[in-house]
Structure formats: C-alpha cells, structure tokens
Structure 1
Amino acid sequence: TLLQLCNGTSGAGSSEATIKGALLNTPERIWAPLELAGYGLGRERVAPATSYRDSDAGYLLLGLALERATGMSASELIAEYVTDPLELSATALPGSTPSAPGDAPLTGHYMSAVEGGFNCAAPVDISTLSASSGYTDSGVVSNITDLGRYAQAEAKQVLRTKEKPDRFGAPLPTSEDGPSWYQATGGAYLAGSMVGQHGWVPGYATSAYSDPATGFTVAVVLNDSTGGSRFAQQLSWELAAIASKAPAASGQTAPEFGLPFTAEQYHDSITKSALVCVPPAAE
C-alpha cells in the first residue's frame, strides 16, 4: 500500500547499492524515476507489513503515484503542500536539467578510492548533478536553515490534519541487532525522543533531527559524500548530545529531556570510521 511505502514496510528493496557507481561517475545523467525504482524492486523482497526496510525505491514510487493521482508534478506538490506552508523559501525540487544546488552552492565532492584507502589530495567536484537522480527520494535542494526548520516541523507533525492518526505512533526496529531506542516509521527515524532523517546524494551528506516536545533541533550538512549518510548521522547525534547539556541562556530555562546516547559514544564511532587517506605516489 501507499502507507507501507511511506512507512518503509512495503518489503521493497533499495536501489542504492546498484546505482551508486553510476550516480558518482555520471552525475549529470537524467534518470527516469521508474528505472531507478526498478533496481530496488528487482532485489529480494520481504513480506510487507512485517519489518522496516529503508527503501529509496518506495519513495520514488510514492512520487510517481502522487503525480498520477493529482495531475501535478512532484515539484508542484512539494511547493504547495510542504515548502509554501512552512515558508521554506530556499527549498525546492529542481527540474531534471543538471545544475548546482542554489545560487551560491557549497561545493560538493567525493574522494576516489585507491589501494589502501582514498586519494584525499584530489577530491572530485560533483556539485552539478541532475535532481532526477534523487527525485522524490533525495532530489530536493535546500540550505542549512531550511533543513533545520523542516526537521522541526516534521517532528511536531505540523502539516498533519487533526483527523489523521499519529504518524510516528507505531515504529519498528531499524534492524534486528540495533538499539531498542532506534526505530523508524512514517518516513523518519526515531532516536530516543528525537525524530529525523539522514542521507546522502553525490557530493553531499545531510542529517537533521528534532525533539517534538521541546523544539530542540540539530542539522548537519557535509560537502563530501565519501563516508555516506552514516557519518552525517553520527555527527548530528554527537552534536545533539553536546548541545543537550548546554546551560540555558540568561533568564531562560533549559528543557528537560534525556538522550539515550552520549557525545563520547559517537565521537569515538566517527573517529573509527574516518577515511584512510593514502598519500599520492611520488613521481
């Protein structure tokens, strides 16, 4: 069902592993959403409504279904129902023409793999790409301010009509061996009391999480996609743990909420997952 696609419980697989190389090597290629989704649908499926499974193919199919049902483009739908109501003036789904993300983009790049690690001395500029490579899964461009405001609004479910059930009311574990406090549903991850998402596109990695009760929000944008989304996710959680311990401003009261992880925990994890840079060979 469409709800299962949104919740990550459709059983459909992910296209990322199949197309990652093509995305990095041909960033300006214009993709058809159904072609992208097909790589995920071609993978082994699990029974629907039984477990959570992160699937970019699911979000691509949702975009196609919404376009067909409304007669509007995905760009128009996002503008009318998301960015305009939330006043996110720097956020939009561009057309398929390859372009840089905004008027003054943060240069995006990745490091080429070499024997023993990565060539960090010569990052590959990948700022210009076609938004069709992400479409309704990861094609939207934004800035750090809008990203944080969007995460805060999504955590509070401000776009949800009153008669609808709680979007995050029935989460599932993200994996069999993951911590009990890390769950997913409704197109978002739940990390303790915080709700958010993280991901990557060629050249960039982002993560944004917010606590719906207090409005406490952390957003991260990295202009390097080599480490993938997990690096940005762990950095945002480390920053959240640090900021949650900060004293309140003069005359204010700090919100009371506890996170099920520490800054040290994810600082160590980030350090262990750092890229291994291999010096260029001497000429």
Structure 2
Amino acid sequence: MPAKVVVIGSLNMDLVTRAPRLPRGGETLIGESFATIPGGKGANQAVAAARLGAQVSMVGCVGNDAYGEQLRGGLLAEGIDCQAVSVVEGASGVALIVVDDNSQNAIVIVAGANGALTAEVLDRVDEVLQGADVIICQLEVPDATVGHALKRARELGKIVILNPAPASRTLPADWYACIDYLIPNESEAAVLSGLAVDSLESAEAAAAHLIAAGSGKVIVTLGAQGLVFANGARFEHFPAPRVKAVDTTAAGDTFVGGFAAALASGKSEVDAIRFGQAAAALSVTRAGAQPSIPTLLEVQAFKS
C-alpha cells in the first residue's frame, strides 16, 4: 500500500490575477488575466502528496456554496479521501492573489469555512489520523485546532510536519516538542525567530533558534537559493534546481507535499528533500496553485 499522508488544513478558492507589477497602496492597476483556481495551503499540500505517490486523506471544511462543491470535487478527482472534509453553512475560504511579471505574488486570505475546523471536528475524525504515517498542518485554520492536531499526532506517534504559514507571530512554546519537521520560508523563519533572514548564514541562525525552542528538525526554504536543513547543531545547504520561473504560487506547498510523500514512503531525509525540491522546481514553471503541481512520473523524468 502507498504511504498514508493526512493533511489537516485549509481549502480555498484562489482568485488569481496577473499584472505587470504588484500595486502600491491606493493604486489601481490594469490586470492582464483572471482565473479561479482551487487552492488553500492544506488542499495544495494534499494534492502534491497525492500526485507524488502517497495515499492522502484531507481534513478540513468548505462552505455550502459553489466554491465548496468545486473544492471538494477537485480533491476527489485526485483520488484524495475526503470523508473528513466537512461541508458547513456559509462561504468557503478564498485567497486573492496578484502575480507580477517577475513571478512574485501578493496574497490576501479570507478564512470563510476554514474557521469552522475546530478541535471537536478533529476528534470526530480521529480514526483518519490514526491511519496516517505522516500528518501535516499549516496555519490557515484556527490556532487552537492546529495545537490540538499537533498534540494528538504526537500522542499517536506519527511523523509530524508543520508548515507555519502564514506566520504573523511566534508559535506557542508547547507546540515545538510535537513537531518533527518545521518548514518555514525565509519570511516565516524571520517572524518565528525574531531574526532577519536574508542569507544562508542568517537562515542557519534562525533555524538554530527554532531548534533551541524545541523543534525536532527545521527546513528553511529560500526560493531560488534552495534551502537550509538544520538537524541539531548540524546545518546543510541544498541548492535549488535551476529552472525558468513563471509563477511561484504553491511552490512551498509542493515542496511540503513532496517531502512528506517521499518521507512516508521510506526515503531518507536527504532524498526526500531533493525529491521535494525537484517537485517545487517543476511547479514554478507553470501558472496557478494546484494546476502547477507535477506528478510522480514528471518528477522522476526531471530528476533523471
């Protein structure tokens, strides 16, 4: 049987526009295109793990609107188990995304139904968590739910990954001991550590701070600069594969999903990191969130 990954997190409909550059405060720009694309960090990571070889269950909430139906249907089409995706009264979550000609983006998220994912909801689907090899969480659902999920995953003895995105504050101190792999990008690492992260050396310093806080291992992703992997007092830099970027949306989610799928299948940490990097590199060569995520065969061909 394929390795089992359970993703606890958000499902959003991404409302994506392309513009020559990101607007400044008070400015109106003429956009070049618009599309509605299934997204949400939780759902993106679930799709990535599924396309990259894992058996995946999604735990989350969508609204009883047209977006909710599309989001749930999209996951089912990927072969993802959605028995723990609840349909609640109200609007589904959305993300408003502007992508510029340099493939950089700015994102505003409205939680919608994602706010209805509570600890009580998790308790009702505990059987799904029990069947996992790896459990992934992010920060687009209520903090109390994330904390409950991390502690329950640790109780169950699962491999626990936290992608602390979006990060606007430090994490609760008691979360760290529950985390096997903390995976922030440079801006998230800066928020969590209180240190500026603008180089490999500063990424190592931030990772060391997070290890000292109690996290098992830390992977700081740095976009085109690759990533820094911290394991205790040991640090390793993994350069990023060189590709021509079109859209960086969901690159981080693709890495997390790919890393989790590879780790759950028994690959070493180093091989899982390189596998996740290859998947993320392919994703930035395509537009959109979930549409950009590659398949296992595509990643294997890219690596060869």
TM-score of the alignment, normalized to the shorter chain, above 0.5: no
TM-score normalised per structure 2: 0.31
More strand by share: 2
More helix by share: 2
Question: Which is greater in Rg?
Answer: 1
TM-score normalised per structure 1: 0.32
